[in-house]
Chain A
Amino acid sequence: GQNIDQPTEMTATEGAIVQINCTYQTSGFNGLFWYQQHAGEAPTFLSYNVLDGLEEKGRFSSFLSRSKGYSYLLLKELQMKDSASYLCAVRASNNAGNNRKLIWGLGTSLAVNP
């Protein structure tokens, strides 16, 4: 089967650093996405990794290890507005070669406290 695992909830303090992990088991791999979703809003795109290594974008960085089926999202200098759910999603190939559909994790709800 195809599966994505991420922690259900995390808490952190304003100004700190937090790492949200995501592990996946899929039949193939063609990219991993992180999205942010504030309560009552739609998901918004944060980052994309397809090669091993770290992608940095301002306060947010995302890491990928394809051999380990593992990614993390690193949030630095946390702000109250970073309180949201963070979704990990993988594009996996299927037998029909239709690999545009994403497999979604259930999301990690991050609470940033003052």
Chain B
Amino acid sequence: GAGVSQSPSNKVTEKGKDVELRCDPISGHTALYWYRQSLGQGLEFLIYFQGNSAPDKSGLPSDRFSAERTGGSVSTLTIQRTQQEDSAVYLCASSSRAVTDTQYFGPGTRLTVL
């Protein structure tokens, strides 16, 4: 595809349920990033995948959050036992090893935990 895609665009869930968010990066991009953005706030880094290297999980807020990237392409962010404070927009970005290594963002998934 031409850009980064994410699904679903919106997700409403009940407190305590698990959710999975999906990201399809730009074809050929080796790096993939997950961010979280609460209303009116800045970008909060969650996790970063680079090729076959071990992911940088330093931004995951708790052990309820996990992510995987299969085949070096699609990534899934899983939130277990969701809490109301998990409500936010979850953004995915990808980049290549081009000169500027610019990150390109998907449209995001708006998660609402009731």
- Residues of A whose CB lies within 8 Å of any CB of B are 31, 33, 41-45, 48, 50, 87, 91, 98, 100-102, 104-107
Given contacts A43-B43, A43-B105, 5 further A-B contacts (CB under 8 A): A41-B107, A42-B106, A100-B50, A101-B56, A102-B45
Nearest-CB residue, chain A, relative to B97:
A100
Question: Which of A31, A43, A105, A106 has the most B CB atoms < 10 Å from its CB?
Answer: A43
From A48, A87, A107, B102 is in contact (CB under 8 Å) with A48
In the complex, are the beta carbons of B41 and A106 less than 8 A apart?
yes
Complexed CA–CA distance, A104 and B42 (Å): 8
Can you list 23 contacts pairing A with B, beta carbon distance less than 8 Å? A31-B100, A31-B101, A33-B103, A42-B106, A42-B108, A43-B43, A43-B105, A44-B105, A45-B102, A45-B103, A45-B104, A50-B100, A87-B42, A100-B50, A100-B95, A100-B101, A101-B45, A102-B45, A102-B103, A104-B42, A104-B43, A104-B45, A106-B41
Question: Which of B33, B41, B43, B102 has the most A CB atoms < 10 Å from its CB?
Answer: B43
Report chain A residues within 8 Å CB of B106. Answer: 42
The count of residues in chain B whose C-beta lies closer than 8 Å to any C-beta of chain A is 20
Instruction: Tell me, yes or no, whether B48 is within 8 Å of chain A by CB.
Output: yes
Q: Contacts A31-B100, A104-B45, A106-B41 given; indicate if A98 touches B50 (C-beta within 8 A).
A: yes
Nearest-CB residue, chain B, relative to A48:
B100
Q: Contacts A41-B107, A48-B100, A48-B102 given; indicate if A100 touches B48 (C-beta within 8 A).
A: yes
State the main secondary structure of chain A at its contact with B. loop
Report chain B residues within 8 Å CB of A106. Answer: 41-42
5 tightest Cβ-Cβ pairs between the two chains A and B = A106-B42, A42-B105, A48-B100, A104-B43, A45-B102
Complexed CA–CA distance, A1 and B45 (Å): 16
In the complex, are the beta carbons of B43 and A42 less than 8 A apart?
no
Complexed CA–CA distance, A98 and B56 (Å): 10
Nearest-CB residue, chain A, relative to B42:
A106
